[in-house]
Amino acid sequence: MPIILHFRRNVLRNRTRALVIVVMVGLTLGVFLVLSQVGNSIVAYTGEVEASVPNIITVQPANNFIGGGYFSLTIGAGSTTGLDANASAIVAATPNVVSVQRVFTQPLDLSSATSGATSGGSFTCGSASNPGVLGEDTTSQLKLVLGGLSGAGAVDVVEGRSLASSDENSTTALVSQAYATATGKGIGSNMDVNGTEFTVVGIFSQSCYTLIFPYPAAASALGITQASILYVVVNQYQNLATSLSSLQSRLGSSFNVQILANADRSSLQGAISAILLAANFGEYAALASGAGIVVVVFAMINSRRTKEFGLLKALGFGNAHILAEMLLESLVFTVVGLPVALAISYIAGPGLAQTILGGVGASTQLASPGSGGANVSARGGSNPFLQGIHFAPTLEVVLFGLAVTLILGLLGGLYPAVRALRLRPTEALRHE
Amino acid sequence: MSEVLFKTEKLSKSYVSGRRTVNALEEIDLVIRRGEFVAITGHSGSGKTTLLNILACLDRGSSGKVLFDGVDVQKLGASELNRVRRDKVGFVFQSFNLLPYLSAKENVELPMEVGRLRKEKRTERSTDLLASVGLEGRGDHRPNQLSAGEQQRVAIARALANGPSAVLADEPTGNLDPDNKAAVISILRRLNIEQGMTVIMVTHDGDVAERSERIVRLAKGKIRSEGRGKFLRTERKET
């Protein structure tokens, strides 16, 4: 095979040229691989963030106003909301609904309420003798919430532990710091609520007098049969509108069905889309510039061989032969450059990624409205984007790099080859 | 009278340089017979190299006919011209044009590679050809390890690689000192005498031209005169 014979001599006896090409290809591809890994990490992390943000719909009774205060309440003892076991079952059976969290809010003893009590039945902050009670399902994907309403914050446990899904059927309790201080309650203390003894397992940060119990035990102790509000988690953000319509249709006009903090969720979605676009753009920009550099390098080096191509033509070598030799050469150079690229990616990748993403710190943690922030537990540390990056050459990376190198090699070899082939032997031979 | 190998009929070549059209050749009628040793001479810009390139199928004329072995090469496609260059023409350049990364032997074998000759045959032939130009034992040397005269002799050996019908040489002695000049002309003459090889040589050197059989003088793209050189056919018989 004269092509391979000539190619072999050409490459082996022009070692400096071969080395320059391989290093250039390796460098270009190495940077691309690093940027690609950085981009993948960004995509993966934003995907985790997106997946961790609950897609929530709230269901409330239409004839009762709930809201307006930090700890709000409109439903007095014995009031009905319609959010009973039947309503909860209808909601849970709706397509795309992943979980339902029942929440009720109520003063422990409404008849003796004094602090903040109004004629409308609202209850502002309670007192040591008249605290507010939150009954919440602990098995939902959602976190425990304070106030149980749109925009209310998550529970921040400062001592002991929070309520877990295993507490759903227990009589464990969380108490606010204000209540604990005023009543001398601590972790392990017991509280009697209408004959049911609750055990304090955690104290959370709050200046109001609040108690949080698992929903079943709280409902039993307080004689509650209907929730104040249902938090409904939908499987995907895209299904929120459909689920909203479906729930409203199934529950009827007695209930207000709303998407929780939709505007914020859209804003978050927009931000994630922008980040993904930027990550992809960086990757493609690196590929495009890499291809450009490789093509230019090949063109520069091969332009010095124009006279050689002219000679080969003068000796009777056909265009197909010269084209095949140049493409073979560029492909071999780029494939040989792949290990160099993998080495560069492995060695310089962490530093380069740190340089690119170093400014992105803990503030990157994205918060989701009403649920206390995105729960991306897998990404600890100060820079979540850097946590998931691995620069070790895996089979996937090698195959990906090989595919990219072959494309670069073809692009790099094609242009100078076509350019050389268009010259007549006499024109090519005049090149110096 | 031997058969015609090259024949041009009203061959013209013009090209555009900047805004003006240059007529490099104007209606050249030339006949070169098989076995002739022809020198084409003229001043710079007379069109001698252009004529040689067209005869060697390295370039095409703008109009007219170029018959090579009875075939009008002006009408041949690119691949057919490649075959003509590969099989029928041996070209010797003024600046040798040896590939620097190949040895002398590999440079000579290069045209044979495209001719798909087996390796053993190639080696045998390149060794013989190098020996015929006085370069026995120098086959493994790279061009930069050879003198100018030796490089030109390698180039002549390369031109003979595929057993061409004619050797066309463009100023083959232009870069050589008198001794090497004489040696190269001697090789070309020997080829012509011993093998009956048709040799067409472009030169601006009157002394070199005089050592040919026939001299074609060009001026401004036209044949101005033709004459006989000192290399007479009788000399062949004596050699």
Residues of chain A contacting B111 with CB distance shorter than 8 Å: 315-316
Residue from A9, A16, A307, A315 to probe the interface with B (highest B Cβ count within 10 Å): A315
A358 pLDDT tier (thresholds 50, 70, 90): low
Region B226-232: mean pLDDT is: 77
- Which single residue is written with the structure tokens 């003229």? B42
More confident residue, B50 or A139: B50
More confident residue, A374 or B193: B193
Of A314-323, A398-407, B119-128, the range with the highest mean pLDDT is: B119-128
Residues of chain A contacting B56 with CB distance shorter than 8 Å: 314
Region A42-68: mean pLDDT is: 68
CA dihedral for A95, A100, A105, A109, sign (positive or negative): positive
Q: pLDDT tens-digit profile of B156-185?
A: 999 999 999 999 999 999 989 999 999 999
Residue type, B45: G
Q: pLDDT tens-digit profile of A168-222?
A: 999 999 999 999 999 999 999 999 888 899 999 999 988 888 899 999 999 888 8
Q: Give yes or no for B204 touching A (CB within 8 A).
A: no
CB pairs under 8 A between A and B: 61
Q: Kindly tell me if the per-residue pLDDT of A345 is higher than 50.
A: yes
Beta-strand pair B37-42/A132-136: unpaired
Contact A106, A73 (CB under 8 A): yes
Residues of chain A contacting B58 with CB distance shorter than 8 Å: 314, 424-426, 429
Beta-strand pair A210-214/A229-234: unpaired
| pLDDT at residue A370, rounded to an integer | 38
Region B77-102: mean pLDDT is: 92
Contact A311, A429 (CB under 8 A): yes
More confident residue, B165 or B236: B165
Q: Using DSSP, state whether B116 is helix, strand or coil.
A: coil
Q: Which two tokens stand for residue A321?
A: 């032969």
Residue B76 and residue B38: Cα distance in Å, rounded? 25
Q: pLDDT tens-digit profile of A131-141?
A: 888 888 988 76
| pLDDT at residue A67, rounded to an integer | 41
Which residues, at least 6 apart from A276, have a Cβ–Cβ distance to it below 8 Å? Answer: A42, A43, A46
DSSP string, B29-93: EEEEETT-EEEEEESTTSSHHHHHHHHTTSS--SEEEEEETTEEGGG--HHHHHHHHHHTEEEE-
Q: Kindly tell me if the per-residue pLDDT of B238 is higher than 60.
A: no
Q: Kindly tell me if the per-residue pLDDT of B190 is higher than 80.
A: yes
A108 pLDDT tier (thresholds 50, 70, 90): low
Mean of pLDDT over chain B: 91
Q: pLDDT tens-digit profile of A244-274?
A: 999 999 998 888 898 875 555 666 667 777 7
ipTM, 2 dp? 0.91
Minimal Cβ distance to B99: which of A2, A308, A319? A308
Cα dihedral A205, A207, A211, A212 in deg (nearest 10): -40
Chain-chain contact of A13 with B102 (C-beta, under 8 angstroms):
yes
Minimal Cβ distance to A319: which of B78, B87, B102? B78
| pLDDT at residue A261, rounded to an integer | 59
Residue A62 and residue A251: Cα distance in Å, rounded? 11
Residues of chain B contacting A321 with CB distance shorter than 8 Å: 114
- Gap from B170 CA to chain A (nearest CA, Å): 12
pTM of the model: 0.63
| pLDDT at residue A265, rounded to an integer | 60
Residues of chain B contacting A5 with CB distance shorter than 8 Å: 113
Chain-chain contact of A316 with B111 (C-beta, under 8 angstroms):
yes
Residue B222 and residue B239: Cα distance in Å, rounded? 34
Q: Kindly tell me if the per-residue pLDDT of A150 is higher than 70.
A: no
Q: Kindly tell me if the per-residue pLDDT of B19 is higher than 80.
A: yes
